[in-house]
A = this chain, B = another copy of it.
Amino acid sequence: MAVHPVEAESAAPASPLLSLEELRAAFHAVGEERYHHRHPFHLLMHEGKLSRGQLQAWALNRYYYQSIIPIKDSIILSRGPDPVFRRAWRKRVVDHDGDATSEGGIKRWIKLAEATGLDAAQVRASRGTLPATRFAVNEYLNIVRNRSLLEAVASSLTELFSAKLITLRVEKLRQFYPWLSNGLDYFEARLYQAPEDAMFAVNYVFDNAKTRVEQELAVQALRDKCDILWAQLDALYFAYVQPGWPPPGAFRMEDQ
């Protein structure tokens, strides 16, 4: 696994503002370096090497992340002073919680978890979720609560990278785990939702970062968000792949 130690870059206050293209390039450089498409757990998944129990552990733990997404977007809504911004951002809450015409992403994720063989009630209660999953995901809430609105918006920008990963994942899940095929609606929906959301957020950051320092803070927020995703897969790998030690109280594969 290639990983690169990188210090948070900080620009001198007088540094010139990045252009839209430079800012976009800075975001993509973060993704190349630390988005979780490179994580060994995903590599195993895409090589067809995960067991059903390991996919259950993934679906169960990732549910906790899915379940807080509309909460973190509601926090961002609550901090947005502008009705136009809130109307645009509101779409995200609808995408995940659903409305009269759509069941929403959380319900779709439960269908995926059920396709792995998990019980929906266990998933909804996040029973057996790794503490490390909760800690990482709760940090996402800390970020959108405690940093500037600009950084909160920027932390969503892993959506710049998700469509490519999801396209690959759906292909590999169908190929190697065909018994999961009727649980993939979540990903189909995200394929068109995420790029729209990312475009809005990139433009928002560019329009609202008035100094280079603010632009760098936005890039750092994306870096921190990538770490949140990465840490979730580290915890899954440690508990369920190698050495395979779930902490006290967590989901155990042999229980299934």
Contact = CB atoms under 8 A, between A and B. Distances in A.
Interface string A20-57: 00000000000001100000100000000000000000
A245 B224 CA distance: 18
Contact of A248 (B5, B127, B235, B243): B5
Interface string A90-115: 00000000000000000000000000
A135 interface: yes
Interface stretch (A79-87, A191-199, A225-233): A225-233
Total identical chains:
2
B234 A5 contact: no
B131 A250 contact: no
Contacts of A123: none
A34 B131 CA distance: 12
B247 A234 contact: yes
B231 A234 contact: no
A255 interface: yes
A142 B132 contact: no
Interface in A150-184: none
Contacts of A127: 7
Nearest to A242: B243
A236 B1 CA distance: 17
Contacts of A230: 131, 247-248
A177 to B, nearest CB: 23
Contacts of A250: 5
Which 7 residue pairs spanning A and B have beta carbons closest together? Answer: A131-B227, A34-B248, A135-B135, A238-B238, A132-B231, A135-B139, A3-B248
